[in-house]
């Protein structure tokens, strides 16, 4: 399943190179707000902090709208850029929620953990460890926040709940997805974050969730089935047929096949 997931993600990224790059370009422009604007407003600290907060929240709203667009690629379709503005109307609330969660995680990392470590006691160390591992689990689970919003639910609390359910049922899969995103982030740095970039990572996460949901469809149809032995080869037959195979020549000169 993992091999096919990586293959399908790469095929979809290649087929939609321009769309992915343009979404990434929009995110780069959005990220410039919290990165550069506060430094321009150093003389007015409260205004700089306001710009920082608004910029961070807008970046998450942008990611939420992008995830809704990328879902169509994962489903063997495409999207027009007018669709982005349509999705933006649906994305502002989940984007703000995820942005708020990200800010909370950052505050806990910067303030709570150092505070408890500086207590110099066993209780402080224990509390710092509990917060640290809670944040690690949350980071792994909330990777799928935007794909779950795009595919499964619109209610923010239910989305968060499903994030944790998926993590605890598929911990190794979530860890692999996190590593994949880290590798993609490293590759993105070499290509000025235009490819695969944030949009490429969101596409992978949507592809991953979409294929992982086949497991739950099978378990629903086979309640006595072994959860440890999911028949992925059978479940992915249609997906493999739709995705197909390609030669290097087809990647570079698709119009010649």
Task: Give pLDDT tens digits for 48-73.
Answer: 888 888 999 999 999 999 999 999 99
Q: Which long-range contacts (CB under 8 A, 24 or more apart) does 33-38 make?
A: 33/58, 33/59, 34/59
The domain of 239 spans: 2-252
* Structure token digits, residue 232: 């992925």
Number of domains into which the chain is organized:
1
- On whether residue 69 sits in a domain, the answer given is yes
Q: How far apart are CA 83 and CA 100, in angstroms?
A: 25
Task: Read off the pLDDT of residues 5-23 as tens digits, 9 standing for 90 and up.
Answer: 999 999 999 999 999 999 9
- On whether residue 169 sits in a domain, the answer given is yes
Residue 204: which residues within 8 A CB-CB, separation 6 or more?
5, 9, 177, 180, 181, 184, 196
The predicted pLDDT at position 199 comes to: 96
- On whether residue 58 sits in a domain, the answer given is yes
- On whether residue 221 sits in a domain, the answer given is yes
Three-state SS string over 108-171 comes to HHHHHHHHHHCCCCHHHHHHHHHHHHHHHHHHHHHHHHHHHHHHCCCCHHHHHHHHHHHHHHCH
- On whether residue 257 sits in a domain, the answer given is no
Confidence of residue 139 (pLDDT cuts 50, 70, 90): very high
- On whether residue 199 sits in a domain, the answer given is yes
* Structure token digits, residue 60: 């998450």
- On whether residue 181 sits in a domain, the answer given is yes
């Amino acid at each position: 399943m993992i091999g096919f997931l990586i293959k399908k993600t790469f095929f979809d990224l290649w087929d939609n190179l321009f769309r992915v790059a343009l979404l990434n370009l929009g995110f780069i422009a959005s990220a410039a707000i919290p990165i550069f604007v506060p430094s321009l407003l150093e003389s007015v600290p409260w205004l700089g902090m306001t710009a920082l907060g608004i910029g961070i929240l807008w970046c998450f709203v942008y990611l939420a709208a992008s995830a809704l667009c990328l879902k169509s690629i994962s489903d063997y379709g495409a999207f027009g850029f007018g669709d982005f503005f349509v999705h933006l109307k649906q994305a502002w609330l989940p984007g703000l929620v995820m942005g708020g969660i990200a800010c909370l995680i950052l505050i806990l990392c910067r303030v709570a953990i150092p505070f408890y470590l500086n207590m110099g006691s066993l209780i402080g160390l224990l509390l710092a460890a509990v917060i640290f591992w809670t944040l690690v689990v949350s980071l792994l689970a909330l990777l799928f926040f935007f794909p779950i919003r795009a595919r499964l639910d619109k209610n923010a609390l239910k989305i968060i709940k499903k994030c944790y359910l998926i993590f605890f049922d598929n911990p190794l899969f979530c860890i692999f997805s996190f590593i994949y995103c880290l590798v993609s982030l490293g590759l993105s740095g070499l290509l000025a974050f235009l490819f695969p970039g944030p949009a490429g990572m969101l596409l992978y996460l949507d592809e991953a969730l979409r294929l992982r949901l086949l497991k739950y469809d099978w378990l629903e149809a086979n309640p006595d089935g072994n959860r440890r032995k999911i028949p992925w080869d059978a479940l992915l037959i249609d997906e493999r047929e739709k995705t197909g195979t390609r030669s290097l020549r087809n990647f570079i000169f698709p119009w010649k096949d």
